[in-house]
A and B are shown apart, each in its own frame.
Chain A
Amino acid sequence: MMHDAESMVRLERVSKAYHNGIEVYALNEVDVEIKRSERVAVMGPSGSGKSTLLNLICGLDVPTSGHLFFEGSELSRLSDDECTRLRREKIGMIFQTFNLLPTLSALENVALPLRLQGQSRRAAESRARDMLLRTGLQERATHRPDEMSGGERQRAAIARALIFHAPLLLADEPTGNLDSHTGEEILGLLDELHRDLGMTILMVTHNESAAAHCQRHIILRDGRIVRDYDSVLSPLDSKAKSG
C-alpha cells in the first residue's frame, strides 16, 4: 500500500487484549487515521481504551492483532531500540502527572532527550533554553520539579516533549492535575505551539473544554470507536477568525 504523505498515524483493525484469567479487549478492531497537523481529542469513559490507544501509537505497547503505521512504517516491525529512537525524536509525550525526573532541574529535564541522543551537555542545554523560553519558563530553568507549580511542571514537560520538534505530540490528560485557570493556560500554550510548529496533537481527555481546543473528536467506548467527527471550529480558531 502506498504511503499517504498526509497520514501521520494509521491503525488498521488494531486490537489489544489483556489476559487476566479471562480475555479482556482494551481495543477491539479499531480503524483510524490521524493526519498531519491535526488536533485530535480522544474521549471516553474510564476503561474505554484511551490510554491503550496512546501507548500503542507511541510504541510502548504492541497490538494483539492488526497493523499500526507511523508515517508509513509499521511499528511492530521496528526493534525495541528503533521504536525508542522513534519515540525520542518523533513523538513527544506529556502526562497528567507531568513525569519530570525529580532530581533534574527544569533545564536538565528538557535537555534530557537530546542528551540521551548523545548530544553534548552544552548543545543540549542551549536548545533546551530555547524551548523553555518558548514555554515561558526561562526564569525557572534551574529549579527542580518540586520547586515549581503544577502549571510550570506541565510547561517543562511540554518543552521536553517538543525539544526535537516532534511531528506528533501525545498528551494524556494534560490538564487533569491542574486547576481550571492553569489548565486553560496550558491548552493555550499547546494551541500556540501548534500554530507555530504545526505538529499533530493527539490528546486524551475527559475534559470537554480541553477537547474543544481540538478540531476532531474521537469517542471510544469498550475498546471501539463509537464516534469520530470534526467539530466545526475549535474555540481558538473561532476566536482567531472573529479577531
Chain B
Amino acid sequence: MRRALAFVTLRQWRQHGLRLLLTLLGIALGVAVFFAMRLANVTLLSSLRATIEQLGGKATLQVVGGEAGFSPEVLKTVRATPGVQMAEPVTETIARSELPGADNLLVLGLDIGSDLKLYEGLFDENGLVVNNPLAFTTRADSIAVSQSLRSRYGLKDGDTLSLDTARGRLRFTVRGFFSMRGAGSIFGGNVIVMDIYAAQAAFDRGQKFDRIDMVTAPGVAVEAVQQDLRGRLPAGLEVVRPDLRGQNIENAVSSVRLGLAITSLLALTIGVFIIFNSFSISVNQRWKEIGILRSLGVTRREVQQMFLGEAAVMGLIGSAAGVALGYWLANGATRIMSAISVSIYGYVSSAERPAFRWDYAAAAFGVGVFASLLASWLPARAASRLNPVLALHNIETRQRETLVGRPRLALGSACILAGVLLTKFSTPRLGLLVQYTYALLFQLGMILLLPKLIAWGARILRPVMSGAFGAEGVIAVDTMKRAPRRTSATVGALMIGLSFVFSNGAFIQSQKSGLNRSLDKSVSADVLVTTSEQIRSRTYHFTEELARRVTGLPGVKGADTVRVTTLAYNGDEIALLARDMNAWFEISPGLLDEGDAQRAHDLSARGDGFIVSNNFSLRSGVRLGDQLRLETPTGPLVRPVVGLLEYYHSDKGTIFLDRELYKKFWQDDAVDYVMMNLQSGVDSQTFKQEVQRVVAGQQRTFIYTHEEYKQWVTRLIDQFFILTYLQMIVAIFVAGLGLINTLVISVAERQRELGVFRAIGGLRRQVQRMILLEAASISLIGLITGLLAGIFNAYFLTRTAAVMIAGFNLPFRFPVLLALITAPAVLTVGLLAAWWPARRATRLQVAEALACE
C-alpha cells in the first residue's frame, strides 16, 4: 500500500513541480538562515576565544588588567610568587597596516630578550626565526612577520612595512619570521611580533603591559598559585586561566547573539508557514484524489501517513539544501558579525571562514524536518478526515472551507489579551525567557484570529475594491475570503515577516531616538575629536600633551578630555568613562536624570562620587547614594553614586568618574575623546581644519561636529543591525514565496471559474487584473495584521526585551517612515509574486478550463 501511495505522491510532484519547488525553497531558506546565524555566532566566538587561548601559548595562568594595562611592578610581584616557574610580559595591539586585505594586524609585543620558551605553544617547532637577533632587539623598528603574511605579500628579510602608531604612520623593517601553531588560524595569520619595549614606545604604552603569561611549576596546583597571586595583586587585576578568558568576551557580545538567535528562529517560523500553506493547498487540490483513494480502500491513517511521509521527504530535501545554503550564507554573516565586534565592542577577530559544524548542521536539519512535519500535521489530519462521498463531488465541496469556530476565536482573543497584559504588568524578575512567551502568546493569538481578521478585512475591502476596480476587485476579494485557511497561511507568513520588520524597525528607531536624546543631553559639545572611526579603539589614543594642544587652540570655550575603557564588574565588561567632570557639567548642563546636579557636579569633580548610567543601576541594583566599589589595578576604589543619567554606550552599563581619579587608580593618562565647546562666532568647520593641522602626522584623528557625531553614531547603529536588516529582507522574500505559492494554486484550482469568467466576456487583462488584485488584497491584509503584530512586538522589544537584555529604558518610537516605505514595497512584492500566476491565468484555454473538474 505504501508503495502505491508513494507512487501517487510522486506523480503529484511531477505534475505540480512549481509548488514543490516553492515549498522546498521555503524550507531551505528557513533552515539556511537558522543554520547560518548559529554558525556565524559560534565562528565569531570561537575565533575570539581561540585568539585568546592560542595567544596564551603554554601559559597556565595569565594576569590581565583591562585596557589601561599595568605597571612593571606587577611583573616583579608575579615572578616573586612561589610556584611561578616562568612569567613573561606581553602587549597586544591591533594596528592598521597598509597591506591590502590585512587592514588590521595583531602586533604582539614579546620580550625577545627572553628565551621565548613560554611562547613555544604559540609558534610551531621552528619558533621565531631571526637572522640577526642583535639587530632585532636593538633596533626599535624591527618586526617579525608570520609566514602567512610573508607568503601572501612576498615579504623578505629587510623589507619595510608601514603601521599606524601612536606617533602617526611609521615604517618597520622585517627582520624575522615565524609560523604559528594551529595552521596560523589566529587572526587569519595577520600577526606580527615586536620586541615588547619597542611596541610600548610605538604605541605609547609607557612601561605598561597588557598581560603577563606564566607557567606554574610542575607539581604545584595551578589554583593554589592563582589564589596566592590574587592575594598579592590588586583586585583590579585578574588572575585567570587562559581558557576561561574567552567567557568574558562571550558575555560581552551576548546581546548581539541573543538578538540574532531570536531573529533566526523567526525566519524558521515563516518557513513553517510556507510549508503549512503548501500542504493545506495540496490537500485542497487533491480533495477528489483523496476521495477516490478512500473509496478504493485506503484507510484514514494511510491517507494521513501519505501526507506526513510527503512532508518528511520534502523536509529532508529542503533541510539538506538549507544546510548547504546556510553554510554559504554563514560566510557573509561571519564577516558582518566580525565587523560589528570591531566597531561596537572593539574586539578584533580574524574574519575566518566558518568551519562546518556537523552538530549544528544536524540540529538545523532536524529542526527543518520537524518543522515540516509539524506544519503538515494539520493538513494531513484534515485530509484523513475527509468524507469520501463529499470529496468525490469535488467541485461543489472543495470550494467551501469552514471559518474559525468560537473556541478558536475565544482562544485567540485570550492569547492576545494575555500577551498584552503580561507585557504591561509582569515583573522583569521572571527572566527574559518567560517574558518572551508573552510575545509568542500575542503572535499565537493573532495567528488563531487570522481567518476571522481576513473575513473582516474582506468585508471592508469588498465595497472599496468594487468601487475602484469593478467586478474584478469583488471577485479578487471574494476569492481570498473563500479559502480562509489557505489565505491565512499566506497572510500569516506575511504577518510574521512584516511584524519582524516593523518591530525591529521600531526597536532600531527607538534606539536611535534614545541615543539622540542622550547625546543631546550628555554629549552636547560643539566639536568632538576621536582616534577611531569605531565607537572606540583599544589601540589608538591621544596623549595628554596632544589633547592639551588641541584644547589650547584659540576659540575653545570649554574642553572635556575623555578616556573610554572597560572594567570587569560582576562578571560583565562595563564601560568606564573618565572625564573632566567640571568641563562635562559645564558643557552639558541638565544631563542627570536622578541626583542633585550641583552636588553631583561638586562631588564627582572632586573625585568623591561616581555618576552611573541608568542601565548600570538597573542591572547591578546600585542606586543613587549607594557606595560603589570598583576594583582597579592599584586597589579598590569606593565612592558613592551621586547621579544617574540615560546613556547607551554599553549594554552592560557605564560608570563615569573624574579623570584625575582615574589616572591615579589606573595609572593611565591616555585620551580617547576630546570634546569642546567653542566660543560664539567660531566656525566649527574652520576649527576642524585647525585641529587637523595640529594633529597632522601624529595620530589618526576623526573630527566631528555635534550633528556629524550623531549621524556617525546612527550609522554605527545601522551597522550593528545590518544582519537584522538582511534578515528582514529574507523574511519578506520568504513571505513573497508563500504568496506566489498561494496564487499559483489559486489559479490552478479555479481553472473552471476563470474559464467561466472568460466565457461570459472577461478579457484576458481583466483576468490578469483579478489575480493581481487578489495578491494586493492578501498583501494589504498581511500588511495591516503585520503592522498590528509589529506594534505589539516593538512594544515588547523596547519595553521588556531592551530592559531585560541591556537595562535600557528606550522611548517607544514606531517607524512611521519604515511603515510608509514598507507598504508600497510589500504591495510591489505581492504584485511581482502574482505576475507569473496572473500570466498563467490569462493563457488559460477557456474551452479546456470549462471542461475541467
Residues of A within 8 A of B (CB): 51, 55, 58, 60-61, 80-81, 84-85, 87-89, 93, 95, 97, 99-104, 108, 111-113, 115-118, 121, 146, 160-161
Contacts and interface: CB of A to CB of B under 8 A. Distances in A.
A103 B850 CA distance: 18
B833 to A, nearest CB: 22
Nearest to B472: A116
Contacts of A161: 760
Nearest to B853: A97
B398 to A, nearest CB: 10
Given A102-B753, A104-B474, A115-B471, A88 B760 contact: yes
B390 to A, nearest CB: 13
A112 B471 contact: yes
A96 to B, nearest CB: 10
A46 to B, nearest CB: 13
Interface stretch (B195-203, B443-451, B761-769): B761-769
Contacts of B215: none
Contacts of B482: 102-103
Contacts of A99: 752, 756, 759, 850
Nearest to A170: B759
Contacts of B762: 84, 88, 116
A97 B395 contact: yes
Contact of B474 (A51, A87, A108, A118): A108
Nearest to B849: A60
Contacts of B766: 116
A104 B400 CA distance: 13
16 contacts: A80-B764, A84-B762, A85-B761, A87-B760, A93-B759, A95-B756, A99-B752, A101-B753, A102-B399, A102-B482, A104-B478, A111-B471, A115-B470, A117-B761, A146-B400, A161-B760
Contact of B761 (A55, A88, A108, A146): A88
Interface residues of B, number: 31
Given A100-B756, A101-B756, A121-B467, 4 more contacts: A84-B758, A85-B761, A85-B763, A99-B759
Interface in B448-507: 466-467, 470-472, 474-475, 478-479, 481-482
B846 interface: yes
B121 to A, nearest CB: 75
Interface in B721-762: 752-753, 756-762
A101 B475 contact: yes
A185 to B, nearest CB: 21
A84 B474 contact: no
A99 B400 CA distance: 16
B8 interface: no
Nearest to A98: B756
A84 B761 contact: yes
Contacts of B846: 60
Given A102-B482, A104-B474, A113 B847 contact: no
A73 B766 CA distance: 25
Nearest to B473: A115
B764 A121 contact: no
B333 to A, nearest CB: 45
Interface in B799-853: 846-847, 850-851
Given A101-B753, A108-B474, A81 B760 contact: no
B471 A116 contact: yes
Q: Which of B752, B753, B761, B850 has most chain A Cβ within 10 Å?
A: B761
Contacts of A95: 756, 850
A87 B395 contact: no
A103 B481 contact: yes
Contacts of A80: 763-764
Contacts of A60: 758-759, 846-847, 850
A103 B753 CA distance: 11
A103 B847 contact: no
A86 to B, nearest CB: 9
B746 to A, nearest CB: 12
B286 to A, nearest CB: 20
A116 B470 contact: yes
Nearest to B764: A80
A43 B314 CA distance: 50
Contacts of A118: 470
B208 to A, nearest CB: 79
Nearest to A102: B399
A168 to B, nearest CB: 13
A81 B399 contact: no
A158 B47 CA distance: 76
A108 B757 CA distance: 13
A111 B753 CA distance: 16
A81 B764 contact: yes
Contacts of B470: 115-116, 118, 121
A117 B481 CA distance: 25
A97 B847 CA distance: 14
Q: Which of A60, A87, A117 has most chain B Cβ within 10 Å?
A: A60
B850 to A, nearest CB: 7
B763 A81 contact: yes
A112 B762 CA distance: 9
A55 B847 contact: yes
In the A-B complex, the 7 residue pairs with the closest CB atoms: A88-B761, A103-B478, A115-B471, A99-B756, A55-B847, A60-B847, A60-B846
A108 to B, nearest CB: 7
Given A55-B847, A102-B482, A103-B482, A160 B764 contact: no
Nearest to A120: B470
A61 B847 contact: yes
Interface in B370-401: 395-396, 399-400
B763 to A, nearest CB: 5
Contacts of A85: 761, 763
A131 B659 CA distance: 92
A55 B760 CA distance: 12
Nearest to A87: B761
Contacts of A146: 396, 399-400
A118 B472 CA distance: 11
B761 A113 contact: yes
Q: Which of A51, A103, A161 has most chain B Cβ within 10 Å?
A: A103
Contacts of B400: 146
Contacts of B395: 97
B397 to A, nearest CB: 10
A95 B395 CA distance: 15
Contacts of A116: 470-472, 760-763, 766
Contacts of A51: 847, 851
Contacts of A101: 475, 478, 753, 756-757
Contacts of A108: 471, 474
Interface in B655-705: none
Contacts of A160: 760
Q: Which of A55, A89, A93, A101 has most chain B Cβ within 10 Å?
A: A101
Contacts of B471: 108, 111-112, 115-116
Contacts of B753: 101-102
A94 to B, nearest CB: 10
A162 to B, nearest CB: 11
A58 B757 CA distance: 14
A64 B474 CA distance: 37
A89 to B, nearest CB: 7
Contacts of A104: 474-475, 478
Contacts of B758: 60, 84
Nearest to B760: A113
Interface string B552-579: 0000000000000000000000000000
Contacts of B466: 121
A85 B744 CA distance: 27
B820 to A, nearest CB: 31
A58 B851 CA distance: 15
Contact of A112 (B396, B752, B760, B847): B760
A176 to B, nearest CB: 14
A121 B463 CA distance: 10
A73 to B, nearest CB: 17
A103 B479 contact: yes
